[in-house]
Amino acid sequence: MGHTFSFLSEFVPPRPKFTTDDIPDLTGKVVLVTGANAGIGKETARVLLTKNAKVWIACRNVSRGEAALMELKERTGRDAHLLKLNLANLRSIKEASEEFLSKETQLHVLFNNAGVMHPPVELLTDDGYDLQFGTNVLGHFYLTKLLLPILLSTAKSSPVGTVRIVNTSSTAHWFGSLDFDTFKDTPKRRAQYAMPLYCQSKAANVVFSAELHRRYGDQGIVSTSANPGLIATKLFRNHTGIIRWMAVCRSMRLCALVDVLLRVSRAWSCTKSQTVRSRNCTRVHRWRLLGLGGQVPISPFPCSRAV
Helix axes 90-103, 140-156, angle to 10 degrees: 20
Distant-in-sequence, close-in-space partners of 161: CB < 8 Å, separation ≥ 6:
222, 272, 273, 274, 276, 277
Residues counted in the chain: 307
**List 202, 216, 251, 272, catalytic entry:** 202
**List 169, 225, 265, 269, catalytic entry:** 169
Active site (annotated) includes residue 202:
yes
Residue 213: CA atoms inside 13 Å, Cβ hemisphere, count?
A: 31
Active site (annotated) includes residue 198:
yes
CA gap 5, 220 in Å, rounded: 34
- 295 torsion bin: left (phi>0), alpha (psi -120 to 50), beta (else): beta
Instruction: Rounding to the nearest 10 degrees, give the CA dihedral for residues 172, 178, 184, 186.
Output: -100
Helix (H, G, I), strand (E, B) or coil at 18: coil
**List 198, 225, 269, 272, catalytic entry:** 198
List the catalytic residues: 169, 198, 202
